[in-house]
Amino acid sequence: MDRRKARRLTRGYHRSMAVYLDHAATSPLRPEVLEAMLPYLTTHTGNPSSLHGAGRRARQGIDEARETVAQLIGAQPREIVFTAGGTEADNLAIKGVAWAATARGRHVITTAVEHKAVVNATAILERSGFEVTILPVDRYGRVDPVDVAAALTGRTTLVSVMAANNEVGTVQPIGAVGEIVRGHGAKLHVDAVQFAAHEPIDVDAWQADLVSLSAHKLGGPQGVGALYVRRGTQLLPQIQGGSQERQRRAGTENVAGIVGFGAAFRHSHADTLEQDRLRKLSRLLRDGVLELDGVALTGHPEDRLANNVSVVIEGVEGGDLVAALDLEGIEVSTGSACTSGSAEPSHVLLAMGLEPHLAHGSLRITTGPETSTQDVDAALAAIRLVLPRLRTTEGAHPKAVATA
């Protein structure tokens, strides 16, 4: 029995037989990562701050993971601060640097397509009296380094630009942005949460001062992330407590999670063969979806993450489409998992100049290590199956609402 048929025969709140194509939301824990984590959940269960043997064993796990993460991005271990995820890393970078640098100025620059963690961290700075410049993007979602240069002032202390967009997968010209920011003297923060799973990172080539990472986007556990903090970068901790993480992030470490992060990063890191395979799968998916009427690609056609296929589909509500595909055993998402359920269209798509009624019909399909060509075929078949149904029903069309 093929997987899709088996999937349709199972029912219930949890559907384990589904084809999972939502790796940008979270990427399933790799078996080898679980294996690396298990000892730290069963036997090495000390507190890394303890002086005794159990504590030392736990500490070793963290130290090794820190070395792994640092090495993979061209950093020193002491420049890595483990956090409870990418969102915390973003918050620490933005609020931590902005507040630490108020003697120099209170101006922060970011872009219109950042993750909500960056959007809302800068928004709260704005409410606290900081000046925040939000740079526009082109129709592919890319920021122009020239705009960054033009926005920098004597009061600017931080520039935050994501490496790759979580919704449409567009890759930003970070190197060029880094060049400009370094010349100015402000700090550059790069949210590389999505990027890290697919492309090698070299913090020096980027000239980045801060880089956010997340374990669960690369086959690690949820609830673990890291912030790279270049030596000499002043940072005001956002969580007060003990002296863990060199007093930059208090709280007993998530030891097993951190060990899992290290293992996941090592296993996923820039596997070029795998990236080529994902790119081929994405191409199949993309070609298949774009064959359908009223479907347009979002994000940059070439400069995008290998596993990301994002489209807008005319005449459907993204949430309805995702539910319909789920019932056919295909798990995908609208723009991003974090904002689904909200009635507002994606700020990313709007910033790229899409009409709101189109932005409502967004679909993001993101492949991963276990994705096969059969999965791609099943996804395309399911989309072809449900799309006419979603479109023929008047109520599904957002335009119908206006006349109601």
The reply to whether 396 sits near other proteins by the rule CB under 8 A is yes
How many helices, marked H, and strands, marked E, lie in the chain? Answer: 16, 12
CB 266 within 8 A of CB 72: yes
Q: How far is the CB of 329 from other proteins (least distance, A)?
A: 11
Is residue 52 near other proteins by the rule CB under 8 A?
Answer: no
Q: Please, what sign has the CA dihedral across residues 394, 396, 399, 404?
A: positive
Question: Is 356 near other proteins (CB under 8 A)?
Answer: no
Residues 6+ apart with CB under 8 A from 277: none
| CA atoms of 254 and 183, how far apart (whole Å) | 37
* Nearest-approach distance from CB 401 to other proteins, in angstroms: 4
> H or E stretch including 214?
strand 210-214
Q: With contacts defined by CB under 8 A, how many residues of the chain interact with other proteins? A: 24
Segment interacting with other proteins (CB under 8 A) among 10-18, 89-97, 100-108, 198-206: 10-18
> Is residue 343 a contact point for other proteins (CB under 8 A)?
yes
Which of these segments, 33-41, 176-184, 270-278, 316-324, binds other proteins (CB under 8 A)? 316-324
Rounded to the nearest whole angstrom, what is the least distance from the CB of residue 290 to other proteins in the complex? 22
Question: 3-state DSSP: the chain helix, strand, coil percent, rounded to 5?
Answer: 45, 15, 40
- Radius of gyration from C-alpha coordinates of the chain: 22
* Contact residue for other proteins among 5, 139, 246, 389 (CB under 8 A): 389
Is 93 in contact with 160 (CB distance < 8 Å)? Answer: yes
Judged by CB under 8 A, the stretch of 6-14, 58-66, 228-236, 249-257 that binds other proteins is 6-14
- In the complex, minimum distance from the CB of residue 135 to other proteins, in angstroms, rounded to a whole number: 31
The nearer residue to other proteins, 103 or 404, going by C-beta atoms, is 404
User: Which C-beta is closer to other proteins: that of 42 or that of 403?
Assistant: 403
Residue 111, both tokens: 């872009």
Query: Is 254 one of the catalytic residues?
Result: no
Residue of 49, 290, 393, 399 that binds other proteins (CB under 8 A): 393
Which window, 52-60, 190-198, 297-305, 317-325, contacts other proteins (CB under 8 A)? 317-325
Least gap, CB of 342 to other proteins (angstroms): 8
**Catalytic pick from 54, 236, 338, 396?**
338
In order of 32, 83, 199, 217, the CA distances from 91 in angstroms are 30, 10, 23, 18
Near other proteins in 322-341, by CB under 8 A: 323-324, 326-327, 341
Q: Is 201 exposed, middle or buried (0-12, 13-18, 19+ CB in 10 A)?
A: buried
| Cα–Cα distance measured from residue 102 to residue 122, given in angstroms and rounded to the nearest whole number | 14
Looking at the DSSP bridge assignments, the partners of residue 162 are 191
Active site residues: 338
Q: Binding residues for other proteins, per CB under 8 A?
A: 11-13, 15, 317, 319-321, 323-324, 326-327, 341, 343, 386, 389-390, 392-396, 401, 404
